[in-house]
Amino acid sequence: MSEIAFIKMHGAGNDYVFIDAFVSAVPQSPGQLARKVSNRNFGIGADGLIMMSPVEHADVEMRMWNADGSEGAMCGNGVRCVALWMELQDRVFETCQIRTASRTVTVTTAQLDRTTNGGVFSVGMGQSHAAADLEQLAGIRLPSADSDVEFTPVSIGNPHAVVFVDELTDRVVRHVGGEIEKHSRFPDRTNVEWVQVVSPTEITVRVWERGSGETLACGTGACAAVAAAIQRGYCSADTDVTVSLPGGRLKVRMDDTGRTWLTGPAQVSFTGILPSPD
């Protein structure tokens, strides 16, 4: 049986198993491998699988698969980890262009520590689009609520449904989040952000990620939450907004045209070898 080298990395606790296809063999069935390695009881444990490959007109191509084996379009925490690994391998210096399934992004190194194999990186995420009007999800209600859930649709290379609440609870996030992800309003499913506004420059967010369930952090989810908060008037454009997530803090800034920047940590956890499922 063949073997595949892997790297385990995370951004604010949003963890993935990475395969460096610059030097390693790649599986023929990455979705199958994603399901296997993501299992936290019988596998390595992760929110999904990310493959880094050579590509023309960019420094690296990033493809990602969620924990359920479905392929995703974009991952704000994942791209920071890719940039970290590319710099640790001396393939880039200070900036890294990464092609994803939805867009090409540029990641800039803010801090790098080769002793700990970690750092802080800023990503030009491109445009965030928050809908001007709230929508309601028929048939889904929050506990103790007497009306359907209201949400702000946001696109940042992948779909998001942002819901503002007074209190973040497990029952709301985990139970209702799964219902919203698979609601008929979203034929391709959606990420769900539960947001509590702390101040004009800070929000607290928990994320139910499409295909993976609740995650400790979500980079695109943080951007979507800030975009919706600006649209609703809770925060202001051209201002750094701290997004507190269970796994740590990210910083998001969005200008008045929707261009968005995401800054946060990336860290190598460990490396290893796993048997190929093919």
Residue 218 designated active-site: yes
- Give the residue carrying structure tokens 């859930």: 149
Amino acid identity, position 192: V
CA dihedral 155, 238, 80, 106 (to 10 degrees): 80
**Cβ count within 10 A of residue 25:** 13
Q: Which residues pair with 66 in a beta bridge?
A: 48
Q: Say if residues 137 and 180 touch (Cβ distance below 8 Å).
A: yes
- Of the residues 81, 96, 218, 223, only one is catalytic, namely 218
Residue 81 designated active-site: no
DSSP per residue, 146-184? SSPEEEEEEESSSEEEEEE-S---HIIIIIIHHHHHT-T
Which residues have a catalytic role annotated?
75, 218
